[in-house]
Amino acid sequence: MGRLSGKRAIVTGAGSGIGRASALLFAHEGAQVVAVDRVEAAVDETAEMIRKEGGKVSSVAADVSEEAAVKGFIEHCISEFGGIDILYANAGISGGMVPLHEQSVDYWKDILAVNLIGPFLAIKHVSPHMISQGKGSIICTASVAGLRANAGGTPYSASKAGVISLVQTTANEFYGTGVRVNAICPGLIETGMTKTIFDGARARGSDDKIGQLNPLKRYGLPPEIAQAALFLASDDASYVNGQAIAVDGGLSSTHPFAGRR
């Protein structure tokens, strides 16, 4: 028996990185998974990986910032697997590091649409189903960039701060319903989103400095975030609600520093 046996879960951004790692782990732990990503080939590949391990999965290509698409993949999960117990709103974009005075309104809108409106829509449309059954776990990917400065660009950081607030406010809005809402705040994780950082460091021969600002002096990997998501999705976290949990090697426990021995 896995930790998610009998559970029905949706994971967005499941075509790569944290989303793929989480979808694979959820399925390994017994969940029936709807894997969602806007890149059809990528999410189909994730689904095939799950099937090869004997898991139950359905893949959906969708844009999490479009309300009809969000309603669609939630209804798909209910139709395909008979209900929904877990929704991990993980999909996100970084937008890169554009100087403040070069940022346009459209640039902000694009990032906010995926990173903040996307989780809002997921919570809006999944919560009635969870409330009706008296339980459910909603998880959102925020970021240490949403906790304090210097971990991401301005609109990205603002969007992730918004996710943290969204989680806190909706957890309280669902007072007495049995529905839990939490966020994970990853630190520097090697994913497609951070590829330019890693590629640049390796090209300069400074691989050993990647992640040096946290007490563990290393970067993280998608499966390490997936383990946090598994905890929040499972009944092991039955008394965890309205929290933004940093999984960052200790980066957010202090102010940034240049380096220590």
List, by residue number, the catalytic residues: 156
3-state DSSP assignment of residue 58: strand
**Which DSSP letter does residue 117 get?**
I
Dump the DSSP string for 38-106. S-HHHHHHHHHHHHHTT--EEEEE--TTSHHHHHHHHHHHHHHHS--SEEEE----------GGG--HH
Please state the length of the chain. Answer: 261
Helix (H) or strand (E) holding 171: helix 154-173
Residues in contact with 131: Cβ distance below 8 Å, sequence separation at least 6, in sequence order? 174, 177, 178, 179
Q: Are 20 and 36 in contact (CB under 8 A)?
A: no
- The answer to whether the CB of 7 falls within 8 A of the CB of 233 is yes
Longest dimension (CA), the chain: 56
Instruction: Measure the CA–CA gap between 195 and 176, rounded to whole angstroms.
Output: 42
Type and span of the H or E element at 34:
strand 32-37
